Amino acid sequence: LRQFSLQYTMSSRSISKVTVIGAGLMGSGIAQVSAQSGYQVTLVDLNEQLLGKAVQSIQTSLERVAKKQLKDRPEEAKQLVSKTMANLATSQSAADAAKSADLVVEAVVENLELKRSLYRQLDSTAPAGCLFASNTSSLGIAELAEAVPNRKPTFGGLHFFNPVPVMRLVEAAFNQLLEFSRSLGKSAVPCKDTPGFIVNRLLVPYLTEAVRMLERGDATAEDIDTAMRLGAGHPMGPIELADYVGLDTTKFIMDGWHAKFPNVELFKPSDMLNKLVEEGRLGRKTGLGFYKWDSKGSKL
């Protein structure tokens, strides 16, 4: 307990400036919740257009949160939005944005080499002792950290869930990041540096197993989903969830793990999943996967 409280004091004192790299779906959510919790945030992406889009989506999301939380207090709602937006800056240079950062959270596309080359850029300017964190869904943290060997003691995994402002969980594969996650109002679970951490390591093979069940003709998509909703108490069945997550994302993660662990039966590719992805049927995001989805993202 003593050790824990010491760590709490240390990390809560040391982090005030957070740089988030990648202003996509995840990065903009991470920037939003960090700015909302009072951190000075710099959000980085490749060009002005992507950054403008991210800032707009953060503003819209904040207005929604403020309206819901402060229903009868419109003045306070306005203030919450303006105070949070004032904590947010943008930059097109990762190296510049890392110069005064206490914590850098990387949320660029899931590509080992791209991430590694980014860490090398950050390493050239980030202060000594700056924490490096990756939001990776499936890559190993030690493998990512190989790009910057001197940063290994301050390098960890910090895995948020989509949509970031809504989902309560964060997985932290590095103790110093646990308290940061909790300071964002999230439930944080510590986990070891294993690919997929806890949730994706269980979830992605489960989704693929459900696709295999369908592939074998053991049950229909609808019946598999109904069975898991009513029999296991899940809010959404696995076939619908695979569509929701994106069939390309599911396949991409499984392909990566299969290449790395070719003998693990659970990671073997599924012909049906490969075929759907090849045909561009990626699930909710393309309007068609195992199911049909409308333009607002509701299952038809």
Please give the size of the binding site for ligand NAI, defined by CB under 6 A.
24
Contact letters for ligand NAI, residues 97-136 (x by CB under 6 A): ----------xxxx---x---x----------------xx
Backbone angles phi and psi of 43, in degrees to 5: -105, 130
Question: Which among 178, 179, 194, 83 has a CA at the least distance from the CA of 137?
Answer: 194
Which residue is it, tokens 């996967």?
Answer: 289
Nearer to ligand NAI, 87 or 134 (CB): 134
The answer to whether 258 is a known catalytic residue is no
Nearer to ligand NAI, 22 or 238 (CB): 22
Sign of CA dihedral 249, 251, 254, 256: negative
Whether 160 contacts 30, CB under 8 Å: yes
Q: According to the annotation, is 241 in a ligand binding site?
A: no
Query: Which of 11, 19, 20, 27 is in the footprint of ligand NAI by CB under 6 A?
Result: 27
Query: Cα–Cα distance between 19 and 261 in angstroms, integer?
Result: 33
Q: Work out how close the CB of 124 gets to ligand NAI at its nearest, in angstroms, rounded to a whole number.
A: 14
Nearer to ligand NAI, 124 or 162 (CB): 162
Backbone angles phi and psi of 196, in degrees to 5: 85, -5
> How many CA atoms within 13 Å lie on the side-chain side of 185?
13
157 sits in which H/E element: strand 155-160
The answer to whether 159 is a known catalytic residue is yes
Which residue is it, tokens 């696709």?
Answer: 211
Beta bridge partners of 83: none
Residues in the chain: 300
Query: Which of 50, 126, 221, 277 is in the footprint of ligand NAI by CB under 6 A?
Result: 50
Q: According to the annotation, is 45 in a ligand binding site?
A: yes
Q: According to the annotation, is 192 in a ligand binding site?
A: no
Query: Which of 24, 59, 234, 258 is in the footprint of ligand NAI by CB under 6 A?
Result: 24
- Does position 32 interact with ligand NAI (CB under 6 A)? The reply is no
Residues of the shown chain interacting with ligand NAI in the complex, contacts defined by CB under 6 A: 21-27, 44-46, 50, 94, 107-110, 114, 118, 135-137, 160-162
The annotation places the binding site for CoA at 61, 68, 137
